[in-house]
Amino acid sequence: KYIAKPVQIKKLTVDIVELVVKYRKSNNIEALAKGLVQQKTKEDKNNQEIESELNIKRGLVKYYETIIDNFVFSLQIDKKGTIQKVSSKFLQFFKYDEDEIIGMNINELKCESCSNESFQQIMLKAIHTKKTIISTHNLTTKTNQKILFDITMTPHYDSSGLVDGYTLYLDMQR
């Protein structure tokens, strides 16, 4: 700004106040911008650390899934009892192909002891008690080999608290 002569005090005061306000706004904006840049940098670093931890956890989950698939007899069924997923160990032992068993109802598995307590009854018991149920069943492989298993049935719940499926783990009795 320029000061013209003769100097008018009122005009000079207004000009000075305007410059001070403009300077303060400029400094506040700079400080705010620096603060935002620092905050974003900190958040980016936190996000990278979280991403790294997440990748480690994903690797562990994949590792555990591989172990379960290869060494544990397991099935996943939906709330109607339709088989959705089976472990490789189950398929290998029971002599089923995956396409044969996926989509099959759990009650279609050959089970001599299921006349006493069907899988549907166990599913209902799990819903009512809201607990994992362990029962013993004599299952038959596709090649008609009969084997006694302890079956652990764990219900899965959706976000509204309703059962949307089950996981079954089979432990062969010796």
pLDDT in tens, 95-119: 999 999 999 998 888 887 777 778 8
Backbone angles phi, psi at 166, to 5 degrees: -145, 150
Q: In this structure, how many other beta carbons lie within 10 angstroms of the beta carbon of residue 73? A: 22
Q: What is the pTM of this model?
A: 0.67
- What gap in Å lies between CA 71 and CA 160, rounded to an integer? 33
> How much is the mean pLDDT over the chain?
90
Instruction: Output 84 or 32, whichever has higher pLDDT.
Output: 84
Residue 2 has pLDDT above 90, yes or no: no
- What gap in Å lies between CA 90 and CA 174, rounded to an integer? 17
Extract the runs of DSSP E, i.e. beta strands, from the chain.
73-78, 83-86, 133-140, 146-157, 163-172
- What gap in Å lies between CA 101 and CA 110, rounded to an integer? 12
What is the percent of the chain with per-residue pLDDT over 70, rounded to a whole number?
A: 99
Residue 130 has pLDDT above 80, yes or no: yes
Highest mean pLDDT among 1-10, 16-25, 155-164: 155-164
**Residues 48, 60: contact at Cβ < 8 Å?**
no
